[in-house]
Structure 1
Amino acid sequence: MTIDRPAPVGPYVAHRRLFSADRPLHLTSGLTLPQVRVAHETYGELNAARDNAVFVCHALTGDSHVARHNRDDDPGWWDVMIGPGRPIDTDHYFVICANVLGGCAGTTAAWPSGTPHTAVDIADMVAVHRALVSSLGVSRLRAVVGGSVGGMQTLEWLLRHPADADGYFLAAASSRQSADNLAWNAIARAAIRSDPEFLDGRYAPGGPRRGLGIARMIAHLTYLSEASLQRKFGRDGRRPGTRFHPSAVVQGDFAVESYLEHQADKFIRRFDANSYLRLMSAMDRFDAFSRPDALATADVLPQVRLFSFTQDRLYGPEHSHRIQAELAARGVPARHEQDETCDVGHDAFLLDVPPFLDAVAEFLRGLGAAPHLSPRTLTTR
């Protein structure tokens, strides 16, 4: 997912310390963290009933700055979705977004000395999200919304803790990586680890910039469709004055090469190599339906909506179809909508795509209108 700007700082980013030595966070790896520092931002106001909160889960390299707080603020990564009058309308909803565990934009990412490769899983991220929500005085969410890896977090939340929210919206998401997805990530990891500056994860400040830049270029190609790359660049030559410094990884003559250099240069200025490796590995290990879920014991099932994009070559419609089928097998109806109007690719969920924005707005308006009773509840009444 394309989010390239410095990590959020300033008066709108808040930090909370969650967990404690006597009540630590138990990671799925078996390790424990006695305390977790969480960077988060909130938008709108929590109402008196405390029932209007929407949690937004960010994608792989995102952060807590999901939208502008005012016109003087820096752009957020989902301004088209969140704000006054937007689909997630901050005049009506209290929006929460937090940097994930293992990220590098304010939330705990530093592990015990000598263990730079400590694993973090999607379930661990959700555990921290839930603790943050509780610390903010919210006992039940109106909705959990996420795209891409944020959709993985949303699906994990739905399966293990369905009663936490009235509804769950997953956009351009997957329940598990395909072989193709795994292969792209394997190449990206190899690029980072083959950089002489990586030093087995114990690198000096700055780290393996060339390797991390190559990894970002590899990933970025999966976020865009072939059609969008052809339309933007074709075989055009590089514009004069766009050559990067001599150490740039790609120094070719084509415009698309200049574009990839630019994406890499922005990324290495704001992201950490160990964090990137850790989060990619969390994606690869995620297999949502391979573990027991809590749907069968839920008295009232939340509403679920899936949205995909035809031209998404990372998590195309087939990924959403699988989620829909697996949920149906567990008695959870999930409506799946598919957009064919936008040919940008995976990054379409970040853009102004009217059918998608309308779907989110309509979903939130309809929450609570007709709760779904679980099959267990139906058979015991």
Structure 2
Amino acid sequence: MVFTDWPAPTSEHLSLAEPFPGDRPLRLSSGAPLAPVQVAYETFGRLNDTRDNAVFVCHALTGDSHPARHHADDAPGWWETMVGPGRPVDTRRYFVICANVVGGCAGTTGPWAPGPDGQPYAGAFPEITVADMVGVHRALLATLGIRRLRAVVGGSLGGMQALEWLLRHPRDADGFAIIAATARQSADNLAWNAVARYAIRSSAAAAAGPAREAGLREGLGTARMIAHLTYLSERSLHRKFGRAPRRTGTRTHPSSLVQGDFAVESYLEHQADKFLRRFDAQSYLQLLGAMDHFDAFAVPDRLHTLDVLPDVLLYSFTSDRLFGPEHSEGIRTELAARGLSARHERDVTSDVGHDAFLLEVPGFLAVADRFLRGVDLRSGTLRDGLVPS
């Protein structure tokens, strides 16, 4: 499969693999086959001689395979606070892998990719789940010759992937860090996503062909504005913007629908316009659906069968109105009922909201660093990782 013009590569260090070629399709959770499946990924650091220092980083809803710079002149990554030299996921110590999820739009097969008729799948792309994302990640690791991970780390949708990985394949890693995540969406979460989907689909409902795609993209900008209201706390929005007026000369965003009088409106318009340059509306709908249908503890219980249990870190932020501490505590309770003790740490210092996991929050980063160093010390205790299930 060939990398296409959409989307633009995120980094010169992007690599491509095809773990599911045309004659060996991926069997999705729905039962539908998908082939070929291309995976876009990046690696950082060096795999050691025993091939046991690998850390897999799972990205959030609108992330990609580029969490950090590879060098000073590289484009900034989306998780520079967590990944890199001297950071908790230290690229001098670990071999770090990050891959765009199946259904995404940053190089891994998704609605943008050519379907059986040679045209982009678009709305005909089959429904994917968080379990499908993890299955493709594991297939990628097999192609890289990695049988066990030191750790799986992810926040938000990335944390949901880490939790799914823990429950389905607990022997794959020595440790799992599940950050600002949930085991299942609350009614409030579902409602926000329902409004976002409505914004996207209603903008295209009266059109067909290219006009419909243009409508989807217009709606995607509105959906991005809606999402940002869940990523930031009310306090942080007030601190940044209050009722300040829009600055002169900022009514220039080409795809903006609002262009109102206040600075907070200008900020949301800016976020929408940036997003439209890098994301696909059909992928956004796919990934929202995967999050909404995720129910981690509906999977069969495999934890009671383990002789050695992995280390698990749950981390939450009290200002997070999307996946606050009650979500992580719910995961901790469910894991305890299955015989696995998980550590739940919560941050009370940041008032930023859900996006705090992406930012420089010293207490959070210190906990993540201690967790990974602890996993480092017990490496080699788990056996037979990354085996077919």
Q: Shorter-chain TM-score: which interval?
A: over 0.9
Instruction: Provide the C-alpha distance between the structure 2 equivalents of 1:323 and 1:198, rounded to a whole number of angstroms.
Output: 42
Paired residue secondary structure (2:372): helix
Whether contact under 8 Å (1:223, 1:347) holds in the other structure is yes
Q: 1:202 to 1:17 in 2, by over 3 A?
A: farther
State whether residues 204 and 214 of structure 2, in contact with CA within 8 Å, keep that contact through their aligned partners in structure 1: no
Q: Give the secondary structure class of the aligned counterpart of 1:284.
A: helix
The whole-number CA distance in structure 2 between the counterparts of 1:156 and 1:203 is 38
Distance 1:305 1:40 in 2: 25
SS in 2 for 1:54: strand
Match of 1:190 in 2: 198
After superposition, residues 254-269 of structure 1 pair within 5 angstroms as: 254-269=262-277
Q: Deviations over 1:19-42 (max 9, x none)?
A: 234532110111011321000000
Structure 2 counterpart of 1:258, one-letter code: S
Residue in structure 2 matched with residue 323 of structure 1 by the alignment: 331
Contact 1:193 1:200 (C-alpha < 8 Å) held by counterparts: no
Match of residue 165 from structure 2: 157
Question: Which of these residues, 241, 246, 256, is aligned with residue 238 of structure 1?
Answer: 246
- TM-fit CA distance, 1:269: 1.1
Distance 2:255 2:52 in 1: 53
Structure 2's unaligned 5+ residue stretches are: 1-6, 383-389
- Comparing 201-210 and 235-244, the one that deviates more: 201-210
Residue type of the alignment partner of 2:101 = V
Alignment partner, residue 3 of structure 1: none
Instruction: Say if 1:14 and 1:246 are closer, same or farther in 2 by CA, change over 3 A.
Output: closer
Deviation at 1:318, TM superposition (A): 0.2
Match of 2:51 in 1: 50
Contact 1:15 1:40 in 2 (8 A): yes
Residues 94, 347 of structure 1: alpha-carbon distance in 2 compared, 3 angstrom cutoff: same
Match of 1:80 in 2: 81
Partner of 2:26: 25
Deviation per CA, 1:105-136, whole angstroms, max 9, x where unpaired? 00001355675252100000000000111111
Equivalent residue letter for 2:338: R
CA contact (8 A) 2:254 2:273 kept: no
After TM superposition, give the deviation of residue 196 of structure 1 in Å: 3.1
CA distance in 2, matches of 1:352, 1:300: 34
Give the 3-state SS of the residue equivalent to 1:83 in structure 2: coil
Deviation at 1:83?
1.0
For residues 121 and 198 of structure 1, the distance between their equivalents in structure 2, rounded to whole angstroms, comes to: 29
Preserved contact between residue 7 and residue 105 of structure 1 (Cα < 8 Å): yes
Of 178-187 and 107-116, the range deviating more from structure 2: 107-116
Q: Cα–Cα, structure 1 residues 103 and 203, in superposed 2: closer, same or farther, change >3 Å?
A: farther
Structure 1 contact 116–202 (Cα < 8 Å) conserved: no
Q: Deviations over 1:59-91 (max 9, x none)?
A: 001000010000010100011111111111111
Shift of 1:230: 0.2
Deviation for aligned residue 1:152? 0.3
Q: TM-score, normalised by structure 2?
A: 0.90
The partner residue of 1:119 within 127, 132, 138 is 127
What letter matches 1:52 in structure 2? N
2:4 aligned residue: none
Once residues 372 and 83 of structure 1 are traced to their aligned partners in structure 2, the CA distance between those partners, rounded to angstroms, is 24
1:218–1:125 distance in 2 versus 1, CA, 3 Å: same
* Aligned partner of 2:216 among 208, 212, 235: 208
* Structure 1 unaligned blocks of 5 or more: 1-5, 375-381
1:222 aligns with 2:230: yes
In the alignment, the residues of structure 2 paired with residue 243 and residue 60 of structure 1 have an alpha-carbon distance, to the nearest angstrom, of 28
Letter aligned with residue 336 of structure 1: H
- Shift in Å at residue 203 of structure 1? 5.9
- Mapped to 1, the partners of 2:254 and 2:44 lie a distance apart of 43
**Do the aligned partners of residues 340 and 171 (structure 1) sit closer, same or farther apart at CA in structure 2, a change above 3 Å counting?**
same
Please say if residues 255 and 273 of structure 2, whose CA atoms lie closer than 8 Å, have aligned partners that are also in contact: no
Which shows bigger deviation, 166-175 or 79-88? 79-88
Matched, 1:166 2:174: yes
Question: How much does 1:219 deviate?
Answer: 0.6
Q: 2:137 is paired with a residue of what secondary structure?
A: helix
How far did 1:300 drift?
A: 1.5
State the number of aligned residues.
Answer: 369
What is the one-letter code of the residue matched to 1:139? R
Work out whether 1:134 is the aligned partner of 2:142. Answer: yes
Q: Is the 8 A contact 2:192 2:227 kept in 1?
A: yes
Superposition pairs of residues 30-45 of structure 1, within 5 angstroms:
30-45=31-46
- Letter aligned with residue 105 of structure 1: A
In structure 2, C-alpha distance between the alignment counterparts of 1:25 and 1:315, rounded to whole Å: 31
- Partner of residue 12, structure 1: 13
Please give the alpha-carbon distance, in whole angstroms, between the structure 2 residues aligned to 1:197 and 1:310: 39
Per-residue displacement from partner, 1:246-290 (whole Å, max 9, x unpaired)?
A: 762112101101111001111111111100000000000000001
Cα distance change, pair 172–99 in 1 and its aligned pair in 2 (3 A): same
Q: CA deviation at 1:372?
A: 12
Mapping for residues 90-109 of structure 1, pairs under 5 Å: 90-109=91-110
